[in-house]
Amino acid sequence: MHGITDLAGLIERHAPADGFHDTALPRVRLIRSGIVTTPVPTVYAPSLCLVAQGAKEAQLGERRFRYDAANFLLGALDLPVTGTVTQASSDAPYLCLCLFLDLAALADLLAEHPLPAGADERPSLGLMLGGTTPSLVDAACRLLSLLDTPEDAGPLAPLIERELLWRLLRGPAGRMLCQMARADGRGEQVHRAVRWLRSHFADPVSVEQLADLAGMSPSAFHQHFKTVTGLSPLRYRVQLRLQEARRLMIAGGLDAASAGFEVGYGSPSQFSRDYARAFGLPPGRDVERLRSAGGYSAAA
């Protein structure tokens, strides 16, 4: 059986430089960083993050999730988080395999092999830590090894992905994944609203409109949305807006007023207040700090 050092060797070989590395395997991305990074806001898609070396921290609202070679991070829906590589060096870089979840394959697997009744009844946060088991590491190594034999990837990669999904379902993550995979479940109803917000965060919208989109009463929607995402619906939208505005200022060169307007703010002062509350500094000073530090780290 392959071990964590084998996984680290495979990631290091196929991700020889710092940054994100998409691979020939359609849902597999490799991440490498030889340095500890500054906090970077981003949106985590539904994915499994298996760390082979080093450590990282993700912050969602007031909650912090530290994951390393002993603990994986699993997200079941799009969530605005701040990520920071907390343990890395040039000699021992942070190395991570990110597998984006195929929710259709997950639903098919559950249809064929349903979990015991009651496993998916109560809503839970859509981001969690879990213990990295030898079976997960072994399957991840076999999946990455297909990069060396591309003729085998087509028939074998879906089977190994299915194995990884099954092992996650059989562990503590099973209930959370069930909520997202069930077409008639509360998790999927919240996910429907999340998907809309990802594409329309600059548009005006009320909780009542989002609840109608999700097919729930406003009170039930607000409660379930906050349980699953860790944020209220409108706070979730604010996080999306601020992250995009920060990106526009750093990568696009926009000033604060223009960036705020682009993401849906009608008031520059309100934008500055929300921005400082989220990132600790007013927009101009924050962007200046990030630029002087090299901006966003690609590996964060």
Q: Domain check: are 175 and 27 in the same one?
A: yes
5-23 average pLDDT score: 97
159, 300, 69, 46 alpha-carbon torsion, rounded to 10°: -40
Is the pLDDT at 299 greater than 50? The verdict is: no
Question: Has residue 280 been placed in a domain?
Answer: yes
User: Which is it for the CA torsion 289, 292, 298, 300, positive or negative?
Assistant: negative
| pLDDT (0 to 100) of residue 257 | 95
Question: Has residue 297 been placed in a domain?
Answer: no
Final residue belonging to a domain, choices 146, 180, 214: 180
Is the pLDDT at 171 greater than 80? The verdict is: yes
Question: Has residue 300 been placed in a domain?
Answer: no
pLDDT digits (tens, 9 = 90+) for 243-257: 999 999 988 899 999
Quote the DSSP letter at residue 3.
-
Q: Domain check: are 152 and 275 in the same one?
A: no
| pLDDT (0 to 100) of residue 117 | 63
The domain in which residue 204 lies consists of 183-231
Question: Has residue 196 been placed in a domain?
Answer: yes
Final residue belonging to a domain, choices 180, 195, 219: 180
| pLDDT (0 to 100) of residue 118 | 56
| pLDDT (0 to 100) of residue 266 | 94
| pLDDT (0 to 100) of residue 259 | 96
Q: Dmax over Cα atoms in the chain, in whole Å?
A: 58
CA nearest 11: which of 162, 157, 140, 139? 140
Q: Domain check: are 26 and 165 in the same one?
A: yes
Number of domains in the chain: 3
CA nearest 198: which of 230, 226, 232, 239? 239
pTM for the full model?
0.89
Is the pLDDT at 300 greater than 50? The verdict is: no
Those residues whose C-beta lies under 8 Å from the C-beta of residue 129, and which sit 6 or more positions away, are 65, 66, 67, 71, 72, 73, 74
Least confident window among 218-222, 261-265, 271-275, 288-292: 288-292
Q: Domain check: are 161 and 56 in the same one?
A: yes
Residue 33 CA to residue 47 CA, distance in Å, equals 19
Q: Domain check: are 12 and 91 in the same one?
A: yes
Structure tokens at 242: 């601020």
CATH number at residue 63: 2.60.120
Kindly calculate the radius of gyration of the chain based on its CA atoms and give it in whole angstroms: 20
